Amino acid sequence: MTTLSSLSKTKRQENVRTVGRQFQSIVITISITAFLFGGIVWRLAYLQLEQGEINQAKAEDNRIRLVPKPPVRANIFDRKGKVLATTRLSHSAYVWPKAQKQGNWSQIKQILAQILNLPPEEIQQKVEQAGFNYPSLIPIARSLTPTQITAIEEYRPQLKWVEVDIDRVRYYPNGKTAAHVLGYTGEINQEELNAKKKDGYRLGDVIGKMGVEESFESKLRGAWGGLKLEVDGSGKVLRFLGEKPPKSGKDITLTIDLEVQKAAETALGKQKGAIIALDPNNGAVIAIASYPSFDPNIFSTRITPEIWQQLQSQGNPFLNMALRGFPPASTFKVVTDTAGMESGKFPPQTVLGTYAGINIGGTYFREWNHAGFGSMGYVGALSWSSNTFHAQIGRGVGGEALIKWARNYGYGQKTGIELQGETAGLIADDAWKRLNFNDWGWTVGDTVNMSIGQGFTLATPVQVAVMFSAIANGGYRVQPHLLETDNQTKQAQRINLNLKPSTISTLRNGLRAVVTSGTGTRLNVPEIPSAAGKSGTAEAPPGESHAWFGAYAPFDQPEIVVVAFAEHSGGGGGSVAGPMVRQVMEVYFKRKVANK
């Protein structure tokens, strides 16, 4: 039975357990609130103090847009101040990077592809390459037509992430003229961007891809600028925040004479080959023509597979034939005669018999007329380009002497002209032959072949022009150059070959006789001053022969050297390449008289 005292005791115990319970919930609530409030305060402090700059930058990214302004690429002029390359205004289509995150991105891409005649995959590749956080507009297409611009505006509600802006594209007012000298420009690719990013290049940049556009990229390019705009959530511009003006590139003047350049290309016509004209006194390049060629303006728009196929159907129009090596044929006899006279073994007054052919080292070397020319000296042998005369000189001085003087004239090494893709040609020696012919060493037959410009020897038209320049200017090897420089720099580029005066005189007289009475009489015309030169016809199996002719004028005070090369022309140097040289010289001297 429960007593009254036990009930009282139980009641007291219950009262003890419930004391303060009405305050416990309040304490817990306050504690939780304080904890949560502390967390919020800590988070705010962290965001403000620790992450303030980062979050501010993110906010800026959401409301600020950078509209890049590319620099104006500098102009390129010829030596007379005529424009060779400039820029023209055009319109380009751009996409904001965040467009790819929009729900209608697929629709944007399809509409753009249809308007711009681009594969959707190409558009996708460009925006993916830039990335979602790329700070600037992404160029999608350049040189838009009025129809394309109108179409983009008609689809403006669907294309609010697309911009059309005025752009500047490269323009070559003379079309194909001097294409291999000027080169062309194009949008930077990923490999080029990786290499040039450290220099401030960015996605969508246009850079020089060939010729002086590539060689003088740092001068021509300039520096980017841009506009800083504040926009709202819909992309509407709220206010203008600032501008960094783009910095234009520096104009450059080339040594090229536009009218002589046109004459060289006209003379070459559709004959595969090259023509180069130099000032023999300082190496200034007056003209370089190469065929097949191309119009660099086509690269101001997108190159479609159809356009590319059409270009390639011409052969290789981007190959500068003036920088490629070919057998120099009888033009090399200048080197052979130099070696003969400078060695002392065959002084200037040397007279040798010439024959229908000559057996050397078990190989029969034929005279080109199959009869010989009787006894003659250097002047006559150059005039008639005797093979058997020069074979005897070559055999007498030996391969080492020929190789030495070939290299002194600049063969077997790059000339240093400011164009990419120049080859060194080839002046072979014993080590080269052993390496390439299973340790088979140099023979007297190799020497004789070299003496007449055949065998392993390869020379570029530019190198041949440098050789003729050395004879014309009195014995100095010049470095061909395209950029106008001051006279002091030009003189520093001359290397004295230390030729004997008698050697220079004999060579000059021989080259003059080529024009007056030998294989180059097609240059003996009143339209040009007295000229001196040398023809060459190179065997080129299995095709037809190559034709060469190099000349300088006036004979007494030379101011221009012209070398013409015709690949597989099938004719002789005097009959095929000689008239090309004359055409160029006629224009050069006609202009000179007109400008007096």
Is the domain of 73 the same as that of 210?
yes
More confident residue, 196 or 235: 196
Alpha carbon 252 to its chain centroid, in Å, reads 16
Of the three residues 205, 220, 253, the one that is the final residue of a domain is 253
Is the domain of 186 the same as that of 262?
no
- Tens digits of residue pLDDT in 507-534: 999 999 999 999 999 999 999 999 999 9
Residue 455 domain-assigned (yes or no): yes
Is the domain of 240 the same as that of 266?
no
Is the domain of 349 the same as that of 412?
yes
CA distance 227 to 232: 16
Of the three residues 226, 253, 280, the one that is the final residue of a domain is 253
Residue 418 domain-assigned (yes or no): yes
CA distance 62 to 548: 67
Residue 48 domain-assigned (yes or no): no
Calculate the average pLDDT of the chain: 87
Residue 451 domain-assigned (yes or no): yes
Residue 278 domain-assigned (yes or no): yes
Is the domain of 350 the same as that of 234?
no
CA distance 428 to 412: 8
Q: What is the 3-state secondary structure (H, E, C) of 516-565?
A: HHCCCHHHCCCCCCCCEEEEEEECCCCCCCEEEEEEEECCCCCCEEEEEE
Residue 50 domain-assigned (yes or no): no
Is the domain of 293 the same as that of 390?
yes
Residue 546 domain-assigned (yes or no): yes
Let me know: does 481 contact 350? Beta carbons within 8 Å.
Answer: no
Sign of the four-CA dihedral 137, 140, 145, 148: negative
- Tens digits of residue pLDDT in 348-357: 999 999 999 9
C-alpha separations of 366 from 130, 179, 350, 386, 557 in Å: 66, 41, 21, 10, 37
Is the domain of 323 the same as that of 397?
yes
Domain that residue 230 falls in: 64-253
Is the domain of 317 the same as that of 415?
yes
Is the domain of 247 the same as that of 275?
no
Q: What is the CATH number of the domain that holds 338?
A: 3.40.710.10
Count structural domains, the chain.
2
Is the domain of 541 the same as that of 505?
yes
Given this model, what pLDDT does residue 171 score? 95
Q: What is the CATH number of the domain that holds 148?
A: 3.90.1310.10
Is the domain of 241 the same as that of 288?
no
Is the domain of 214 the same as that of 263?
no
Let me know: does 63 contact 232? Beta carbons within 8 Å.
Answer: yes
Of the three residues 187, 221, 253, the one that is the final residue of a domain is 253
Instruction: Tell me: pLDDT of 558 over 90.
Output: yes
CA distance 436 to 456: 11
How many alpha carbons lie under 13 Å from residue 175 in its C-beta half-sphere?
4
Q: What percent of the chain has pLDDT over 70?
A: 86
Summarize the confidence of residues 473-481 as an average pLDDT.
Answer: 96
Residue 28 domain-assigned (yes or no): no
Alpha carbon 413 to its chain centroid, in Å, reads 19
Which residues are paired to 273 by β-bridges?
A: 291, 566
